[in-house]
Amino acid sequence: MRRTGTGPIEHRRAWSWMAAHAFTIVSAECRDQAPVRRVPGVSRTPQALSCPCCLRRFRMRGHCLCGAIAFEVDGPAQACVVCHCESCRRQCSAPMTTYIGVLDGQWRWLGRPPKAFNSSPGVERTFCDHCGSPLSFRSKKMSNVMHFFTAAMAEPEKFAPTLHVAFEEKLPWVKLADGLPTRFGPDYTKG
Ligand SMILES: [Zn+2]
Ligand SMILES: [Zn+2]
């Protein structure tokens, strides 16, 4: 496990690191123009790499399992991380989850909003009240950023995480070999 520092210099480094390692997003209209690579033995489908056009802007929808709750997100996303914290784990009933961060004003619920509950003071988590799908969480510590679970996006394959957070809470039987950096605690913007 690699832990990063917690001082203000480290905070700035974290933000600049995230900015410098913007993750892969390619919208449909730019897919043909984006550089691609093939993953040997995994897929015959070309995997899109960073498209400068789409890193600046994209629009994508997401929805719950039953489709009753849908949302729309405009780019650019601020981050795409894998979270190992117990709260995300329990909300999603999964050993870990991946989410994207989107600034307020760049996302919206389509139709009626989901149910919300506070998993801890200042932390709001949402879910579909019909099928139970987890959809998002937000923290007052990052008050202008909404986090949508990547798996709820219409095209989750377009979002590749760049960082593991709350890595100290990772379940011991989860074995990872993705080479991504890890961070102590759930907040990818702070130590
Ligand atoms: Zn639903
Ligand atoms: Zn979490």
**How far, in Å, from the CA of 135 to the mean position of ligand 1?**
9
Q: Cis peptide leading into 76, omega within 30 of 0?
A: yes
Model confidence pLDDT, tens digit, residues 8-43: 333 333 333 334 333 333 344 444 444 443 333 333
Q: How confident is the model at residue 158 (pLDDT cuts 50, 70, 90)?
A: confident
**How far, in Å, from the CA of 80 to the mean position of ligand 1?**
23
Ion ligand 2 — residues with CB < 5 Å: 83, 85, 88, 186
**How far, in Å, from the CA of 159 to the mean position of ligand 1?**
22
Tell me, what's the pLDDT at 107? 95
CATH of the domain at 99: 2.170.150.70
Ligand nearest to the CA of 101: 2
**How far, in Å, from the CA of 114 to the mean position of ligand 1?**
9
**In-domain check, residue 184:** no
Tell me, what's the pLDDT at 141? 85
Span 118-132, mean pLDDT?
96
Ligand nearest to the CA of 99: 2
Tell me, what's the pLDDT at 57? 60
Contact 160, 80 (CB under 8 A): yes
Asked if the model's pLDDT at residue 140 lies above 50, the reply is yes
Percent of residues, the chain, with pLDDT higher than 70? 69
**How far, in Å, from the CA of 24 to the mean position of ligand 1?**
27
**In-domain check, residue 191:** no
**In-domain check, residue 122:** yes
Residue-number span of the structural domain to which 147 is assigned: 8-22+58-169
First-to-last alpha carbon distance for the chain, in angstroms, is 15
**In-domain check, residue 154:** yes
**In-domain check, residue 48:** no
- Total domain count for the chain? 1
Tell me, what's the pLDDT at 78? 82
Task: Flag whether the pTM goes above 0.75.
Answer: no
